[in-house]
Amino acid sequence: MGPESQGAGAHEGQPAARSSGAEPSLRAHRDAGAGRVWAAGALERVGIVGFGAFGRLLAGVLSAHAPVLVCDARSVEAEQARRHGAVPAALSDVCASGVVIFAVTAEGLRGALALASAHLAAGALVADVCSVKVGPVAWMTESVPVRCDVLGTHPLFGPQTLAETGGVGGLTVALCPVRVGDQRLAAVEAFLGGALGLRVVRGTPEEHDRVMARVQAVTQLVGQAALELGYTDHELATLGYRRLVQLGSNVAAQSEALFMTIQRHNSYAAQERARFRRALGAIEGRIGGDAHAGGAG
């Protein structure tokens, strides 16, 4: 989830793996010891619920470090999963993993949790990757059984960023610990920062959403405006103008659903947009006053 923070795949639920060719590999994954999440610093098995754009990104990144099972509301072809280093499985098998990541939209998270909660293994670490945190963290706290740990996460990058950087090293992930012990949290941070090379920032869901209202909501609002105004590159473009055009391109590269999630599900976003409009109004007022003063001179 870079600036576009493509926080989730588009689907959630229980798929039927459509290829029997995946079964031998799936049986091997079942035997991997799902209850042990970290052993000697190594990640054991990961289950990903949601195989949209970000779910595929996650599978590709994590499959270098652990067996990965995936499912989606739409059936996942074995070959498509293999291209990302994963094995398609039923929701119950995915949720039997030691780490279960819900790579679904904020709109779809509650439904996915309702379907999955009964299948989550005791001691599992359950995480989301939504671009907002207050709501998703509350939903996980309500829905995930107390036998499991809960961790809110927001990777501040997505497929577009990785297409430019070639990897996640040096990128940022936000963590919002909810119901997780210090030892396990330290292991998670060591894995993310060490094995993956991510910059880890820890905070509360409220702190996260307050900052993201500026970092994402207003930035993407400006990008959406540039896109709808049809701003494109030009031979007379300045560097600042090209950056504005790039903001529009970033918004165009992500889904409308993600844009709306960032604007609608962050309780601080409306307030920040209002502050932005007031600032524009004040600037327009100064411009008008300057124009009249200049004319009088």
What pLDDT is stored for residue 252 in this prediction?
93
- Side-chain half-sphere exposure of 87, counting CA atoms within 13 A: 23
Q: Is residue 10 part of a domain?
A: no
My answer on whether 154 and 267 are in the same domain is: no
171-to-2, 151, 164, 243, 296 alpha-carbon distances in Å: 7, 19, 12, 20, 53
Q: Is residue 285 part of a domain?
A: no
My answer on whether 64 and 186 are in the same domain is: yes
Q: Is residue 97 part of a domain?
A: yes
My answer on whether 160 and 253 are in the same domain is: no
My answer on whether 166 and 108 are in the same domain is: yes
E strand or H helix at 48: strand 46-49
Q: How far is it, in rounded angstroms, from Cα 236 to Cα 226?
A: 17
Q: Which of 208, 227, 209, 221 is nearest to 276 (CA)?
A: 221
Q: What share of the chain is helix, strand, coil (3-state, %, to 5)?
A: 50, 15, 35
Q: Is residue 186 part of a domain?
A: yes
My answer on whether 163 and 257 are in the same domain is: no
My answer on whether 234 and 191 are in the same domain is: no
Last residue of a domain, one of 203, 219, 248: 203
My answer on whether 46 and 142 are in the same domain is: yes
Q: Cβ atoms within 10 A of the Cβ of 204, count?
A: 15
Work out the pLDDT band at 241, boundaries 50, 70, 90.
very high
Q: Is the pLDDT of residue 40 over 60?
A: no
- What is the domain extent for residue 168? 20-203
My answer on whether 35 and 136 are in the same domain is: yes
Work out the pLDDT band at 44, boundaries 50, 70, 90.
confident
| Burial class (CB within 10 angstroms; exposed 0-12, middle 13-18, buried 19+) of 117 | middle
CATH code, 92? 3.40.50.720
Last residue of a domain, one of 143, 175, 203: 203
My answer on whether 194 and 213 are in the same domain is: no
What pLDDT is stored for residue 219 in this prediction?
96
What pLDDT is stored for residue 32 in this prediction?
38
* Residue-by-residue DSSP string for 195-239: IS-PEEEE--HHHHHHHHIIIIIIHHHHHHHHHHTT----TT--H
Biggest CA–CA distance in the chain, Å, is 84
My answer on whether 165 and 234 are in the same domain is: no
pLDDT in tens, 261-294: 999 999 999 999 999 999 999 999 999 965 555 5
My answer on whether 82 and 173 are in the same domain is: yes
E strand or H helix at 174: strand 172-179
Q: How many domains does the chain have?
A: 2
Q: Is residue 181 part of a domain?
A: yes
Vertex 159 angle, CA 116 and 52, to 5°? 30
From 25-39, 82-96, 180-194, the region with the lowest mean pLDDT: 25-39
Last residue of a domain, one of 180, 203, 226: 203
Q: How far is it, in rounded angstroms, from Cα 65 to Cα 88?
A: 17
My answer on whether 150 and 237 are in the same domain is: no
Q: How far is it, in rounded angstroms, from Cα 228 to Cα 238?
A: 20
What pLDDT is stored for residue 33 in this prediction?
36
Q: Is residue 5 part of a domain?
A: no
Q: Is residue 15 part of a domain?
A: no
Residues 6+ apart with CB under 8 A from 127: 99, 100, 101, 102, 150, 151, 152, 153
Q: Please report, as a single letter, which amino acid is at residue 37.
A: V
Q: Is residue 54 part of a domain?
A: yes
